[in-house]
Amino acid sequence: MESDYVIVGAGSAGCAVAYRLAEAGKSVLVIEHGGTDAGPFIQMPAALSYPMNMKRYDWGFMSEPEPHLGGRKLVCPRGKVVGGSSSINGMVYVRGHAMDYDHWAESGADGWAYVDVLPYFKRMEAWDGNGHGGDPAWRGKDGPLHVTRGPRRNPLFKAFVEAGRQAGYEVTDDYNGRKQEGFGPMEQTVHKGQRWSAANAYMKPALKLDNCELVRGLVERVEMTDGRATGVVLAGGKVVKARVEVILAASSINSPKILMLSGIGPGKHLAEHGIEVIADRPGVGANLQDHLEMYIQYASKQPITLYKYWNMISKAVIGAQWLFTGTGLGASNQFESAAFIRSRAGVPYPDIQYHFLPMAVRYDGQAAAEGHGFQAHVGPMRSTSRGAVTLRSADPAEDPVIRFNYMSTEQDWDEFRTCIRLTREIFAQEAFAPFVKHEIQPGDAHQSDDELNEAIREHAESAYHPCGTCRMGRADDPMSVVDPEGRVIGVDALRVVDSSVFPRITNGNLNGPSIMTGEKMADHILGRSLPRSNDVPWVHPDWQTAQR
């Protein structure tokens, strides 16, 4: 059990790194604790609420009781399966805004500005606007990751975009192109009606090469010899040797956990658990961030929502059509319209995201009692709250302690109330007049700041975008965990390449940025890089003085 590179985790970033290293002729061994991604629940886009709630595919993490959300414990699903969270996520594809990456570079992640990362987004994409417009010059054509758009047949998808326009917002043909800001079509990692996870895009092609192998196992810690990573220790004591490097891509929850179990992390915390300190890095596990969102739900006047399929017979018919033809409602995640807007004047780029869904339903598959309805998922994109992942004990079998510390700043509450009020204004536009019956959640009774705070406390949910726990930055910054090439500061031959390294959360869903990070880190490992881009993204000309 030995290879040049040992990659821990066959998730979004790990699969990308494995493919690029194997393609370059390196011998690669990928260790994944989860099992196969075969089976209709994972591969059928519309069935997305199933794998996310199945112990077989999910680590089943929970947050600690969140003090600012009434002591609720929130679920934190992470994929325990080949493909990682890209095999159980909502398949929404968002690159993030150019200014997100410029902020990374400014905060110490040199070489990760938008001009640096855009070429990697292009390299990884096989983009198809599906005849619905888009920004082809800004997109990739022949990468491994297929990105498409849903058919948008339901009239509610068009109503949402039109309502945004009527409310005075921008419209955009491609939020992943030159202009993110505005209302428009949403993109998904779906190909020919199938979930296009990192497993399908990267891992399966990598495994066809002679020099890449996938091994099942739970990694307990990195084996260190004289300050150098030489391999990993699996549950049961088996050691897998790395001739060149150990690469962690185990998620923003498990990567810091493995580092701490290996003696890399906050010295005092490690000593409390009887772990010998190899590198005292206080940033390991710190800087935990996520997106919170709320489902603003409305009852529908017309029976045109997906609720009419919310019965066993219809689900069976949709499933059968998808199974035999790869088409129909089963072939889309049903998130087909989106928006990115700014919360107020003076905010230079969008800090609010919308997912629109032509049904009132929760992620756990529970439909609203009202029957026919629709909803917008909304939440602030750049929360100022920070949490941490810490060890519960020195036992690798135990889940870590996850404290998001959601809504711990006044700014977060202010931004969230703004989100709800702006959403209500959008649904009050003429475009929704034929469809809106009444508001289900939070409901008309919630108007004042206090009433909205109460609704947020009770109903805000994680968007499942944890990141930031092994922050990338300058080597002389004590809170940095890895340098801009992903190398863990203070030890040799060890890297982290997943969403843990994000200095700050990007706006939108994190799967695209996680895969891009794997793509770019693979080039750092191989000592090469793509030329920087000259493309200049659109920024609202009146951002300093106008909210829309």
What distances in angstroms separate CA 121 from CA 98, 115, 403, one per listed residue?
Answer: 12, 11, 31
Q: Which of 33, 269, 465, 540 is an active site residue?
A: 465
465 catalytic per annotation? yes
From the CA atom positions of the chain, what is the Rg in Å? 22
89 is an annotated ligand-binding site residue: yes
Helix (H) or strand (E) holding 280: strand 279-280
Backbone angles phi, psi at 259, to 5 degrees: -60, -45
62 is an annotated ligand-binding site residue: no
Backbone angles phi, psi at 207, to 5 degrees: -70, -15
Count Cβ atoms within 10 A of the Cβ of residue 331 and give its class: 0-12 exposed, 13-18 middle, 19 or more buried. Answer: buried
90 is an annotated ligand-binding site residue: yes
Say how far apart CA 301 and CA 138 lie, in whole Å.
Answer: 40
6 is an annotated ligand-binding site residue: no
What distances in angstroms separate CA 158 from CA 15, 186, 548, one per listed residue?
Answer: 36, 12, 20
Question: Closest Cα partner for 293 from 403, 407, 373?
Answer: 407
176 is an annotated ligand-binding site residue: no
- State how far Cα 292 lies from the chain centre: 12
Three-class SS of 89-156: CCCECCCCCHHHHHHHHHCCCCCCCHHHHHHHHHHHEEECCCCCCCCHHHCCCCCCEEEEECCCCCHH
81 is an annotated ligand-binding site residue: yes
List, by residue number, the catalytic residues: 465
Binding residues for FAD: 81, 89-92, 219
Binding residues: 81, 89-92, 219
